[in-house]
A and B are shown apart, each in its own frame.
Chain A
Amino acid sequence: MITVSKLNKKFGDLHVLKDINCRVEPQEVVVVIGPSGSGKSTFLRCLNQLETATSGEVIIDGVSITNPKTNINKVRQEVGMVFQRFNLFPHKTALENVSMAPIKVRKMPKQEAEKLAMELLVRVGLEDKAAQYPDRLSGGQQQRVAIARALAMRPKIMLFDEATSALDPEMVGEVLEVIKSLAREGMTMVVVTHEMGFAREVGDRVLFMDEGMIVEEGPPKELFSSPQNQRTKAFLSKVL
Chain B
Amino acid sequence: MDFRWHVIQDYWPVLMSGLRLTIELTVIAVSIGTVIGLIVSLFRLSKLKPVGWLAKGYVDFFRGTPLLVQILLIHTGLPPLLGIPPMPRMMSGIIALSLNSGAYIAEIFRAGILSIDRGQMEAARSLGMTYGQAMVNVILPQAFKRSVPPLGNEFIAMLKDSSLVSIISVQELMMSGKIIVGRSYRPFETWIVVALLYLVMTMTISQFVGYLERRLGKSDHSE
Encode contact with B along A50-90: 1 for CB under 8 Å, 0 otherwise. Answer: 10000000000000000000000110110111010101111
Asked if A149 lies at the interface with its beta carbon under 8 angstroms from chain B, I say yes
A91 touches B142 (CB 8 A): yes
A8 to B73, CA, bound (A): 54
Interface residues in B121-142 by Cβ distance below 8 A to A read 122-130, 133, 137-138, 141-142
Bound CA span A49–B195, Å: 58
- Give the complex CA separation of A85 and B138 in angstroms: 16
In the bound complex, do residue A85 and residue B119 qualify as a contact, i.e. CB atoms below 8 Å apart? yes
Contact B127 A105, beta carbon cutoff 8 Å = yes
Contact residues on B (Cβ < 8 Å of other chain), bracket: 20 to 34
Asked whether A91 lies within 8 Å of B222 as measured between CB atoms, the reply is yes
Q: Are A135 and B221 within 8 A (Cβ)?
A: yes
Please determine whether B123 and A77 come into contact, CB atoms closer than 8 angstroms: no
Contact B127 A149 (CB under 8 A): yes
Q: Is the CB of A105 within 8 A of B129?
A: yes
A100 contacts B by Cβ under 8 Å = yes
Nearest residue, chain A, Cβ from B131: A73
What 8 A-B pairs have minimum CB-CB distances, sorted nearest first? A77-B128, A87-B123, A87-B119, A101-B127, A133-B221, A81-B126, A76-B128, A90-B221
Interface of B is mostly: helix
Kindly name the residue among B117, B125, B127, B137 whose own CB sees the greatest number of chain A CB atoms within 10 A: B127
In the complex, the answer to whether B123 meets A153 with C-beta atoms within 8 Å is no
User: How far is A81 from B120 in the complex, measured between Cα atoms in Å?
Assistant: 13
Q: Are B126 and A80 in contact (CB under 8 A)?
A: yes
What is the distance, in angstroms, from B99's C-beta to the closest C-beta of chain A? 31
> B214 near A: Cβ within 8 Å?
no
Does A150 interact with chain B (Cβ within 8 Å)?
Answer: yes
Are the CB atoms of B126 and A104 closer together than 8 Å?
no
A134 close to B126 (CB less than 8 A): no
Cα–Cα, bound, A79→B127 (Å): 8
Q: Which residue of B lies closest to A103 (CB)?
A: B137
Tell me how far the C-beta of B106 lies from the nearest C-beta in chain A, rounded to whole angstroms: 22
Q: In the complex, A104 Cα to B127 Cα: how many Å? A: 10
- Of A50, A91, A100, A135, which is within 8 A of B126 by CB? A50
Q: Name the one of A73, A89, A133, A135 contacting B123, with C-beta atoms under 8 angstroms.
A: A89
**B2 interface hit (Cβ, 8 Å):** no
Contact A83 B123 (CB under 8 A): yes
A143 at the interface (CB under 8 A from B): no
Question: Does A48 interact with chain B (Cβ within 8 Å)?
Answer: yes
**Residues of A with C-beta under 8 A to B223:** 90, 135
Do B130 and A73 touch across chains, with their CB atoms under 8 A apart?
Answer: yes
Q: How far is the CA of A150 from the CA of B120 in the complex (A)?
A: 14
A-B contact pairs, 18 of them (CB 8 A): A73-B125, A73-B129, A74-B128, A76-B128, A79-B126, A81-B126, A83-B122, A83-B123, A85-B119, A87-B120, A88-B123, A90-B142, A91-B141, A101-B128, A101-B129, A105-B129, A105-B133, A133-B221
